[in-house]
Amino acid sequence: MMFADVFLCHWSVNTAIRKNNTMIQVYTGNGKGKTTAAIGLAVRAAGAGLKVYIGQFCKGRDYSELHALKKIKNIKIEQLGAPCFIKRKPSAKDFAIAKKGFSRIKNIIARKYYDMVILDELSVAVKLGLIKVDEVIGLLKKPSNMKEIIITGRCAPKEVIKLADLASEIREIKHYYKKDIKARKGIEF
């Protein structure tokens, strides 16, 4: 590829961002690394001077990324869930917390302060019925001045994937959980 080809390729990407305003990315699948990929994007964006907001659905316990990301000036991270409840049926409290969290996200996006908003585990919240897919689609279709909206979590709804500009499926090939190795601090949480 010649330099001119690289330049034209880069120019066409920037044109797409201006034309569509907000690029939507989805990281889904049963493999490990969806949140990690989104956090990598957050760090890269912050390094470029962009303002990043991360809202974590279905997470309410002490994850190590909270400590690291709170030290980065351009990143704000908030948990919008109770302690993980994936192994049980959601309670009325879980529904209330998710509703409040999604309302918070709508306000964050409406404020037009952040360049990037990461909705960590939003797909799980939708799969569990805590948030309706139509609400997510409505939010994603609203005009905003954001450069990126990133959605993570297993079981991303097909309607969200269809609307996305980028969708990656992280597939598990092998995992040490199957050897009864428990979640490790700094690696899984």
Q: What is the pLDDT of residues 156-185, one digit of tens each?
A: 999 999 999 999 999 988 877 677 888 777
pTM here?
Answer: 0.83
Contact partners, residue 91, CB within 8 Å, separation at least 6 = 85
Looking at 3.40.640.10, 3.40.50.300, 1.10.1060.10, 3.40.190.10, the CATH number of the domain 32-151 comes to 3.40.50.300
Model confidence pLDDT, tens digit, residues 17-40:
434 479 999 999 999 999 999 999
Domain segments of the chain as ranges:
32-151
Q: What is the DSSP string of 81-119?
A: SSSP-TTSPPPHHHHHHHHHHHHHHHHHHHHT--SEEEE
